[in-house]
Structure 1
Amino acid sequence: MLKLTERLGPIAADQASDTLTLPYELRIRGRLKAESDAGRDLGLFLDRGPVLRDGEGLRAEGGEVVRIRAADEPVVTARIASGLPLARLAYHLGNRHVQLALGEDEKGGYVRFPPDHVLEELATLLGATLEHHRAPFDPEPGAYQQLGGHGHSHSHSHSHSHGHSHSQSNGHDHDHGHEHGHSHAH
């Protein structure tokens, strides 16, 4: 088994002796047994954290280099007019704390995400047209990862209060509130 232990960042295709095509859910893992596109057994032994990006190179203990490719997988591509409508779409979808891929092609700008009926409904309400298809899903890295802040992490939490009023048939009303807390690690 070829043990891949070092991240090289983006590399040209001709710098690698083999490729490894993975869906997003496997490119977030640091430890993985897989088969290369040429049929060789590979083992990933990488630091946790950064997602393996399409075009990233990995070096084996013996110096051999394998290039990562993002697999085609089910996605939804939401399209809307450029400028403020596209920014608004990206903002509201991103505010749902989900991974999004932002891009531009011959049809214009888009926001791409895995199929999710809630996100699809929101995108439609904002005026986007949706295309369900298979394509690579390579979401935007966090701002700290883009700026070279490897190893930086933070967490935050949200607390939402919801008051409820209940009216009983005996004429007695009572109110109570309850908290829902959740946290996100980034």
Structure 2
Amino acid sequence: MWKLIERLEATSDAEALDSVTLPFELRMRGRLKAISNGGREIGIFLDRGPVLRDGALLRAETGEIVAVRAADEPVVTASVPSGLALARLCYHLGNRHVQLAIGQDDEGGWVRFPPDHVLEALAARLGATLERHKAPFDPEPGAYAEGLGHGHGHDHGHHHDPADGHGQVYDLQPHLAHRHGHNHEH
């Protein structure tokens, strides 16, 4: 198993030997096991905090480089004209404290989020055209994120490897995962 312990700088010219495709929920974790796209067992042992972004490079303790890919997953893309309509949509959705990916194309602006009927109704009321589909979800890191998603470093902590054999990916330290629920009034 390759033990991936170091985030490489975004400007690194290192070349990946393999890649691993993960949904956003797993790219938020610093400890997990997975099977690479090349079929190799890997363990990710990173510092907590920065989310693994699509294209991130990780170095194994033995030197191999693995690229991170964002998996296609169920999302809703809300499209509006760029400018004030996009700003208003981002403001109201962001005020719900949800992760949002924001972008624009030839048609205007868009905001992408995980399926949620309350958010979808809000976006529709704000004039957005909604599309439910599968696509990579790589939300904005937030203004207070370390390096705006470009953190680096590695750790040398003591880790346990709870191999359970019941799946390809699982959290190696679930008690460290930050989880909280949100109450949405309907």
TM-score range, shorter chain: 0.7 to 0.9
Equivalences, count: 154
Distance of 1:91 and 1:60 partners within structure 2: 40
Corresponding position of 1:81: 81
Confirm or deny: 8 A CA contact 1:11 1:57 kept in the other structure: no
The change in CA–CA distance for 1:147 and 1:30 in structure 2 (over 3 A counts) is closer
Corresponding position of 1:177: none
The change in CA–CA distance for 1:96 and 1:26 in structure 2 (over 3 A counts) is same
Please state which structure has a larger fraction of its residues in strand: 1
Unpaired runs of 5+ residues, structure 2, are 153-179
Output aligned runs, 1:32-43, within 5 Å. 32-43=32-43
Output aligned runs, 1:44-55, within 5 Å. 44-55=44-55
The change in CA–CA distance for 1:148 and 1:141 in structure 2 (over 3 A counts) is closer
Distance of 1:32 and 1:18 partners within structure 2: 17
Radius of gyration: which is bigger? Answer: 1
Distance of 1:116 and 1:82 partners within structure 2: 23
The question of 1:30 aligning with 2:30 is answered yes
The CA RMSD over aligned residues, in Å, is 2.4
Corresponding position of 2:4: 4
Output aligned runs, 1:1-186, within 5 Å. 1-10=1-10, 15-145=15-145, 147=147
The change in CA–CA distance for 1:17 and 1:183 in structure 2 (over 3 A counts) is closer
Amino acid at match of 1:45: F
The change in CA–CA distance for 1:137 and 1:13 in structure 2 (over 3 A counts) is farther
What's the TM-score once normalised by structure 2's chain length? 0.76
Unpaired runs of 5+ residues, structure 1, are 152-181
What's the TM-score once normalised by structure 1's chain length? 0.76
Identity of aligned residues (%): 69
Confirm or deny: 8 A CA contact 1:76 1:113 kept in the other structure: yes
Q: C-alpha displacement at 1:67, in angstroms?
A: 0.5
